[in-house]
Amino acid sequence: MTREILLITRVRTLNKGNQALSTAWVSMLERAFPGTSLRVLERRPRHLLQHRLSDLGKARDPYRAFDELTTRLAKLAPGPAFAGPVRDIADIVLDEDIPSPTRHVGLRQRLNLRGLVARAGYYADEYRYRLSACQRAALVVVNPAGEFFPREPAAAFYHLLDADVARKLGVPTAIVNHTMDITDPVLRAIIPRIYRELDLVGFRDTASVEAFEKMGGDMSNVVVTPDLALITEFRGAPVKRTGTVAIAINAPEAAANGYLPHWEETIAAVRGTGLQVELISNELPFDLPFYALLQQRFRDLPIAGAGMPHDQYCQLLAGYDLVITSRMHTAILAMVSGTPVVPVEGASFKITGLFRELGFDTPVIRPVGYTWPSLVLDEVQRVRAAGDEASAALAARISSVRDRIHATLVPRLHAIAKGEPLRASA
């Protein structure tokens, strides 16, 4: 049997950034392991939804409960023949009609209907296929795409289950490309012990490393590379619309932290300089309810980019003078497209971490207090005054970062696929 590479990532998504990120991982693994079959599976398998993070919190020893759970799950593996050989790599699909997870969150969590369906065994064969795919693999790469943050700790729980089960099946396993910004006490207690057993842990910023160390994390199998969406290549020709800027707002984070009204002030201030403003988002279904309210306030405020896959979104971003954003992947895809960014931090530190890793001296504006919209306006004026120099410096930096990502990740992935622990070379 020919050994395969298994990538667990977002396959069908309403997020253009996740589409770009998953596509980038597929591209890198294909180039890194030429001639090796690559199998791509959706993250957060439905069979696991019958298990809850809250159950671990009730246990006397949460780590032991987690360990026992992943041992039971690994025993369901049917053998490598069950999955069969790879036929085609799954397309990474943007589908903005997927129901937004923000709708009726509390009610859905209480009912846990998918968990009940999973407990009844409806997803069992689907999960056995996944386990068999792990058994066929020379390497399993789990890409949570950053879902380790305070707002939704359950997402991190399912990624941890995936990674630990793969490890217990005897497969070299890497969990990669994520920000470690966890406040849940159960996760903070178990993550260091789980990660110690994995072959590779990849964070996308040094702030995550610092947070991981505070949890008691072992650094010997850890690497740091900026978000892999940065290797996305923009091949189009920009169609510039001088005097037009885009604004991308992480509306759920802004709502949760009470600063949505300040975004209205920001839009009004930017428009007051004579610039045209368009609303955009790499995760439009999440932001659209707030954008609709903004359109009531500003009658001629367009929303652009709906239905655009990530490559077309890059083309759109390339046309603006600059992009103001509190969405990290819009920042990344704008920079990849050669468009300067005015970054505004969200509820996490991931945008600050990104710009630190890129080595930019661009200030990441924190939406705290009442004066931060004026800081955004100051930065808009500074970036526009820099003109083409800003774009040229941006292109050089992105090229350097791409080289760094490949040089850091590819040798380590090759090493662990051959059974050479990262710790041996740390």
- The chain-wide mean pLDDT, for the chain, equals 91
Mark whether 120 and 61 lie in a shared domain: yes
Per-residue pLDDT at 2: 65
Region of 320 please: left (phi>0), alpha (psi -120 to 50) or beta.
beta
Residue 394 lies in a domain: no
Is 21:333 a contact under the CB 8 Å cutoff?
Answer: no
In a domain, 365, yes or no: yes
Same domain, 374 and 272: yes
Asked if residue 395 is part of any domain, the answer here is no
E strand map for 182-314:
200-203, 222-224, 244-248, 276-280
**Encoded tokens for 155:** 């997402």
CATH number at residue 177: 3.40.50
- Average the pLDDT over 36-49 and give the result: 95
Do 381 and 263 share a structural domain? yes
Alpha-carbon Rg for the chain in angstroms: 22
Highest mean pLDDT (candidates 107-116, 247-256, 357-366, 383-392): 247-256
pLDDT at res. 218: 95
CATH number, domain at 336? 3.40.50.2000
pLDDT band at 424 (very low <50, low <70, confident <90, very high): very low
Q: What is the pLDDT of residue 109?
A: 52
The total of structural domains in the chain comes to 2
The answer on pLDDT for 425 being more than 50 is no
Q: Where are the beta strands (DSSP E) in 109-228?
A: 137-142, 173-178, 200-203, 222-224
Question: What pLDDT does 363 receive?
Answer: 87
Q: Does residue 239 fall inside a structural domain?
A: no
How many residues are given for the chain?
A: 426
Q: Is residue 126 part of a domain?
A: yes
pLDDT above 70 as % of the chain: 95
pLDDT digits (tens, 9 = 90+) for 121-150: 899 999 999 999 999 999 999 999 877 888
Q: Are residues 163 and 114 in the same domain?
A: yes
pLDDT of residue 19: 97
In this structure, the answer to whether residues 224 and 285 fall within a common structural domain is no
For residue 299, tell me if it sits in a domain. Answer: yes
Considering the domain architecture, whether residues 221 and 271 belong to the same structural domain is answered as no
pTM for this predicted structure: 0.92
Q: In degrees rounded to 5, what are phi and psi of residue 68? A: -65, -35
Question: Which residue range(s) make up the domain with 271?
Answer: 244-386
List, for residues 366-413, the tens digit of each pLDDT value. 999 889 999 999 999 999 998 777 777 788 888 899 999 999 999 999
Q: Are residues 225 and 248 in the same domain?
A: no
The angle subtended at Cα 354 by Cα 397 and Cα 384, nearest 5°, is 60
Same domain, yes or no, for 165 and 85?
yes
Q: For residue 27, which amino acid is it?
A: S
Residue 260 lies in a domain: yes
Predicted pLDDT of residue 201: 97
